[in-house]
A and B are shown apart, each in its own frame.
Chain A
Amino acid sequence: MAWPTDITVTDKGRTLEVVFDDGETVRLTAERLRVESPSAEVQGHSPSQKRIVTGKENVAIVDVQPIGNYAIKIVFDDGHDTGLYSWDYLRKLAG
Chain B
Amino acid sequence: MASRDEVVAALGKVPGPDGKTPLPDSGAISGLTIRDGKVFLAIVIDPTRAKALEPMRARAEAAIKAAPGVTSAVVTLTAEAAREIGGGAPAHAHAHGGGQPRQHGHGGRSSAPIPGVRHIIAVASGKGGVGKSTVACNLAVGLAMLGLKVGVLDADLFGPSMPKLFGIMVKPELAPDGQKLVPLEAYGVKVMSIGFLIEEGAPVIWRGPMVMSALNQLLREVVWGELDVLVVDMPPGTGDTQLTMAQNVPLSGAVIVSTPQDLALIDARRGIAMFKQTHVPLIGVVENMSYFICPHCGGRTDIFSHAGAHREAEKLGVPFLGEVPLDIAIRANSDDGRPVVASLPDSGHAGAFLEIARRVAQTLEAGAPGAKPAPRIHIG
Contacts and interface: CB of A to CB of B under 8 A. Distances in A.
Interface of A: 3-12, 18, 21, 39-40, 55, 61-73, 75, 77-84, 87
A68 B248 contact: yes
Interface of B: 30-31, 33, 35, 40, 42, 44, 74, 76, 78-81, 102, 104-108, 110-112, 246-251, 277-281, 372-380
A75 B33 contact: yes
Contact of B110 (A9, A65, A82): A65
B277 to A, nearest CB: 7
A82 B247 CA distance: 13
Contacts of A39: 107
Contacts of A64: 377, 379
Contacts of B377: 7-8, 64-66, 72
6 contacts: A62-B74, A63-B40, A68-B251, A68-B278, A69-B280, A69-B281
A73 B278 CA distance: 14
Contacts of B279: 68-70, 87
**Highest count of chain B CB atoms <10 Å: which of A12, A62, A72:** A62
Contacts of A81: 31, 33, 104-105, 107
A10 B380 CA distance: 5
Nearest to B378: A8
Given A62-B35, A69-B278, A73-B110, 5 more contacts: A40-B106, A69-B372, A72-B377, A79-B78, A84-B107
Given A67-B111, A70-B246, A82-B105, A7 B378 contact: yes
Contact of A69 (B42, B102, B112, B374): B374
Contact of A7 (B76, B250, B375): B375
B101 to A, nearest CB: 10
B277 A84 contact: no
A66 B33 contact: no
A6 B118 CA distance: 22
A89 to B, nearest CB: 12
Nearest to A53: B80
B278 A5 contact: no
Contact of B78 (A9, A12, A78, A84): A78
Contact of B31 (A6, A10, A12, A75): A75
B251 A69 contact: yes
A73 B374 CA distance: 14
A7 B378 CA distance: 6
Given A75-B31, A78-B76, A66 B110 contact: yes
B27 to A, nearest CB: 13
Nearest to B78: A78
Contacts of A10: 380
B283 to A, nearest CB: 14
Contacts of B372: 3, 21, 69
Contact of A80 (B80, B111, B247, B376): B80
A55 to B, nearest CB: 8
A68 B378 CA distance: 17
Contact of B375 (A5, A61, A68, A80): A5
Contacts of A75: 31, 33, 40
A51 B116 CA distance: 43
A80 B82 CA distance: 13
**Highest count of chain B CB atoms <10 Å: which of A6, A77, A79, A80:** A79
